[in-house]
Each structure stands twice: as structure tokens, then as C-alpha cells.
């Protein structure tokens, strides 16, 4: 069979196994509503945790920036793309997370895929949580370092692997908030192990920056490893398309590590810098996050999380309890409802969709076999009525799937 025919066949196989991914065309309708393929849906699938992607302050910042800078950045930051707006954003991001220096990247995936090979190479050792994000895994592959995968959150396992490694350059890497489970890494304990074994620590706080820690300064600040107590061995990475509501990412840390990253990370050197209009949107977003507006949005988010968890607690609804579905333990906006098998997870998603709600079902291979789930993502853009609608719809789905 020719290669091209084989591609047809493999696509057909994916389709038969309901693994063919399809995109939907969406248009924001205000709040957490999206018009999706012509239909209005209440969405619980966005990582816009503070609702900032639609905020007036960010829109105004973009309008003003377009007049000043135009649209594109024109070149890599190493050539002429390092706009005064991007430079100001880097200083403000560093200050926000309480670390000496930050670098602004155009995308999170490209950051990690290229950052890991900048830090380690052949003969070096990488220690990676089993549930780390795909871009850390791809960075590990590109680096050609030896990868030691430790069981999710199992720091005794990590300690064993570190102790057994004779290698001089060791890098431990972990998501700070795990994207499909919503749990938070024990950063203090990870750091202590890194000190004990003279390893560096890379943290990906894509889902924590803006949400966790004092004033939303992120998971590292929450762990007390910033400002005067910052560590010389920690590199902090966070993305800017989630709670910050725009796009992009940054890497922050001690001067010498960030200088090394600037010199050696190919997705920084060989990619066109993010447009200054996005840097200005992000500067406005950061002011919101750190100010009273952010505090209010985080409070709304915390209230919605509590409302959902209370509504799905055992004893609230018999038909729901009978399904065996349960919310995984999570205090973050990622609230996965563990269902188990793929078929019922898809059936619940379909039932919710019929009821006008969009909550994605996540299946293997994205998550472990037998742990298919609904990944409910909450946001400050959700109103109490929205979460009530979700609770009602889930109870109705429970009755349908049980019948
Ligand atoms: C979303 C995400 C990324 C990728 O960031 P983008 O800016 O979307 O490319 C990286 N790491 C984690 C943990 C993420 O959830």
C-alpha cells in the first residue's frame, strides 16, 4: 500500500474508534457563552479562568497599542523584534512573580519544547512527573537526555531515582498544576529534593499563574520560593493564554539561568517575537490580576468552585450518587469529574451538549486507561446560575445514563 493510502486508512481507523478530533468554530457571546457551529452553548471548557480574555481594559490596551506600534513585531527578539512593550512586560512579569528576570515567549508549547534541550543534553538526567504536559515530554525527547519518569506526585519514587543517578547535571521538571487532574505539585518538597541532590527544578505553572498564590502571583509564590527566599536552582515557566487571557508564555528565574535560557533556547532566538500589541494587552492583564479587579475575579472563581463541589458532594442527589461518578480532589479551576469508561463519558458529554452545555470528555491516551472524565473548567466569567445549570444538567445526565 502506498504511504498516501495508508494515511487514509489510519484516519478511517481513528474515526471508527471515535478518536478523530474535530474542531468547532466558536464566537464569544458574552459571559461564558459561546456560539458554536451556529448554536449558543454555555461553555465549561476554556482556560480563561479569570474571564480576562473579554475584559474591557485589555481591549482598550490593544486599541491604543495598535496605533502606537502597528501589528507585527517584524523579527526575532534577538534581532529587531524586542519592542519596548515586550521589554516592559518582561520587567513587570519578573516583578509579579518575585524573581530577578523574565523572558517573554510567543507560545507556551514552543517554550518548553525548546527550553528543556537548552538546559540538558545527551548524558544528562531528566526526572519527569508521569502526568507532565506534552510540551515538557517533547522537550525531554528533543534534549536526548536520559529520562526518568516518576509516578505522579510520588516524591519517594523521585528521591529513589535521584539517589540512584550518578549523573552530574540533573533536571527535575513538573507541572505546578496538573492540567487534566487539577492537583498541585508539592513544590516545597520538590525543591528540597533538588537541593539534596544538587538538581535544578523546572516548574510549568500554566494553570496556576494568575490564580494561585498571593495576588495570583502563582504556585511558586504560594510555595514561598520567590522574593528574598527565591532559589538559585529554580526556573519558573508560566503561560499567558490561560488566566492572563491573552497568549504566550514566560520563563523567570535567577539572572544567570535566565541569561543562559536567552542564549540557548531556540524557540526564543529563531522565532518572530510576539507582537507588541499582545505585550500591551498582557501588561493591562497583569495590572488587573495584581489589583482589586483580580482579587474580585479570584473570589468569584473560588465561590463557583465551592458551589460546584458542594452541589456534587455525596448525599446531595441519589441518582447522581448511584452513578459512581466523582469529582477528583482539586482546589483549582480544573474540576475533573471521573467517570471511568470511555462510552459513558462520551454519553454524558452528549447529554450535556443536548442540554446546551459544553463540557469536554477527556479519554485515553490523554489520560490513563479507565479514567475517562469530564474536564470541567470553571471561570470568574461563570455566574452562580451557570453552575446551577451545570448541576441540573449533570443530574439529568445521571438519570439518563442510569436508565
Ligand atoms: C497550555 C499548556 C502549555 C502550552 O502553552 P501554550 O501557550 O498554550 O502553547 C504548556 N504547559 C501546560 C501545563 C499547559 O497546560
Q: Do 319 and 285 contact (CB within 8 A), yes or no?
A: no
Contact 86 CB / ligand 1 (< 6 Å)? no
Q: How far is the CA of 402 from the centre of ligand 1 (A)?
A: 36
Q: What would the DSSP string read from start to end of 350-363?
A: HHHHHTTEE--EE-
Q: How far is the CA of 180 from the centre of ligand 1 (A)?
A: 12
pLDDT score, position 401 = 79
Length of the chain as a residue count: 403
> Which residues are bridge partners to 264 per DSSP?
none
And the C-alpha cell for 193? 529534593
Q: How far is the CA of 109 from the centre of ligand 1 (A)?
A: 5
pTM score, whole prediction: 0.97
Q: Do 218 and 81 contact (CB within 8 A), yes or no?
A: no
Q: How far is the CA of 250 from the centre of ligand 1 (A)?
A: 11
Q: 54 exposed, middle or buried (CB, 10 Å; 0-12, 13-18, 19+)?
A: middle
Distance CA 185, CA 187 (A): 6
Q: Do 239 and 249 contact (CB within 8 A), yes or no?
A: yes
Within 10 angstroms of residue 182's Cβ, the number of other Cβ atoms is 23
CA neighbor of 217 nearest in space, from 254, 175, 176? 176
Distance CA 394, CA 273 (A): 44
Closest atom of ligand 1 relative to the 177 alpha carbon: 13
Distance CA 229, CA 212 (A): 18
Contact 50 CB / ligand 1 (< 6 Å)? no
Contact 205 CB / ligand 1 (< 6 Å)? no
pLDDT score, position 395 = 96
Distance CA 176, CA 235 (A): 12
Q: Do 220 and 237 contact (CB within 8 A), yes or no?
A: no
pLDDT score, position 257 = 98
Q: What would the DSSP string read from start to end of 176-195?
A: SB-TTT--B--HHHHHHHHH
Contact 109 CB / ligand 1 (< 6 Å)? yes
Q: How far is the CA of 208 from the centre of ligand 1 (A)?
A: 11
Question: Peptide bond preceding 365: is omega within 30 degrees of 0, i.e. cis?
Answer: yes
Q: How far is the CA of 201 from the centre of ligand 1 (A)?
A: 18
**Pairing label, strands 33-36, 39-43:** antiparallel
Q: Which domains does the chain have, with CATH numbers?
A: 16-45+293-402 (3.90.1150.10), 56-290 (3.40.640.10)
Q: Give how far the C-alpha of residue 261 lies from the chain's centroid of Cα atoms, to the nearest Å.
A: 21
Integer CA distances (angstroms), 214 to 210, 217, 251, in order: 9, 6, 19
Distance CA 180, CA 285 (A): 25
Contact 114 CB / ligand 1 (< 6 Å)? no
pLDDT score, position 170 = 98
Contact 133 CB / ligand 1 (< 6 Å)? yes
* Strand locations in 274-379 (E): 326-327, 334-340, 357-358, 361-362, 372-377
Q: Do 378 and 308 contact (CB within 8 A), yes or no?
A: yes
The dihedrals phi and psi of 320, each to the nearest 5 degrees, come to: -70, -45
Contact 137 CB / ligand 1 (< 6 Å)? no
Distance CA 90, CA 277 (A): 14
The sign one gets for the Cα dihedral 201, 122, 146, 103 is: positive
Contact 239 CB / ligand 1 (< 6 Å)? yes
Contact 175 CB / ligand 1 (< 6 Å)? yes
Determine the residue of 104, 239, 240 to mutate for testing ligand 1's pocket, defined as the one with the most ligand atoms within 8 A of the Cβ atom: 239
Within 10 angstroms of residue 40's Cβ, the number of other Cβ atoms is 11
**Pairing label, strands 170-175, 26-28:** unpaired
Contact 206 CB / ligand 1 (< 6 Å)? yes
Please, what are the averages of pLDDT over each run of 10 residues along the chain (403 residues)?
94 92 94 95 98 98 98 98 98 98 98 98 98 97 98 98 98 98 98 98 98 98 98 98 98 98 98 98 98 98 98 92 94 97 95 97 93 98 98 95 72
Amino acid at each position: 500500500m502506498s504511504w498516501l493510502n495508508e494515511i487514509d486508512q489510519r484516519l478511517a481507523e481513528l474515526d471508527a474508534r471515535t478518536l478523530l478530533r474535530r474542531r468547532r468554530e466558536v464566537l464569544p457571546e458574552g459571559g461564558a457563552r459561546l456560539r458554536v457551529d451556529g448554536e449558543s452553548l454555555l461553555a465549561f471548557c476554556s482556560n480563561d479562568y479569570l474571564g480576562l480574555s473579554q475584559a474591557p481594559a485589555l481591549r482598550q490596551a490593544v486599541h491604543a497599542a495598535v496605533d502606537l506600534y502597528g501589528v507585527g513585531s517584524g523579527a526575532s527578539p534577538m534581532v529587531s523584534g524586542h519592542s519596548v512593550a515586550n521589554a516592559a512586560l518582561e520587567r513587570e512579569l519578573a516583578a509579579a512573580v518575585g524573581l530577578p528576570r523574565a523572558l517573554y515567549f510567543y507560545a507556551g508549547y514552543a517554550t518548553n519544547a525548546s527550553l528543556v534541550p537548552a538546559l540538558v543534553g545527551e548524558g544528562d538526567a531528566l526526572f519527569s512527573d508521569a502526568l507532565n504536559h506534552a510540551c515538557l515530554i517533547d522537550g525531554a525527547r528533543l534534549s536526548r537526555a536520559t529520562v526518568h519518569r516518576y509516578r505522579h506526585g510520588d516524591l519517594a519514587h523521585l528521591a529513589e531515582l535521584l539517589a540512584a543517578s550518578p549523573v552530574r547535571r540533573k533536571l527535575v521538571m513538573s507541572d505546578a498544576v496538573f492540567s487534566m487532574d487539577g492537583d498541585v505539585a508539592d513544590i516545597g518538597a520538590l525543591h528540597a529534593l533538588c537541593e539534596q541532590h544538587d538538581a535544578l527544578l523546572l516548574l510549568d505553572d500554566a494553570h496556576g499563574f494568575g490564580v494561585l498564590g498571593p495576588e495570583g502571583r502563582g504556585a511558586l509564590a504560594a510555595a514561598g520560593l520567590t522574593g528574598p527566599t527565591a532559589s538559585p536552582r529554580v526556573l519558573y515557566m508560566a503561560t499567558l493564554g490561560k488566566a492572563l487571557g491573552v497568549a504566550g508564555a514566560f520563563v523567570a528565574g535567577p539572572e544567570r539561568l535566565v541569561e543562559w535560557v536567552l542564549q540557548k533556547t531556540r524557540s526564543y532566538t529563531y522565532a518572530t517575537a510576539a507582537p507588541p500589541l499582545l505585550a500591551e494587552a498582557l501588561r493591562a492583564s497583569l495590572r488587573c490580576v495584581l489589583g482589586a479587579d483580580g482579587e474580585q475575579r479570584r473570589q468569584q472563581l473560588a465561590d463557583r468552585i465551592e458551589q460546584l463541589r458542594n452541589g456534587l458532594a455525596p448525599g446531595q442527589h441519589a441518582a447522581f450518587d448511584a452513578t459512581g461518578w466523582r469529582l477528583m480532589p482539586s482546589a483549582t479551576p480544573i474540576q475533573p469529574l471521573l467517570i471511568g469508561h470511555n462510552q459513558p463519558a462520551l454519553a454524558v458529554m452528549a447529554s450535556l451538549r443536548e442540554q446546551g452545555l459544553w463540557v469536554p470528555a477527556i479519554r485515553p491516551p490523554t489520560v490513563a486507561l479507565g479514567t475517562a472524565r469530564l474536564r470541567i473548567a470553571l471561570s470568574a466569567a461563570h455566574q452562580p446560575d451557570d453552575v446551577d445549570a451545570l448541576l441540573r444538567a449533570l443530574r439529568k445526565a445521571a438519570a439518563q445514563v442510569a436508565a
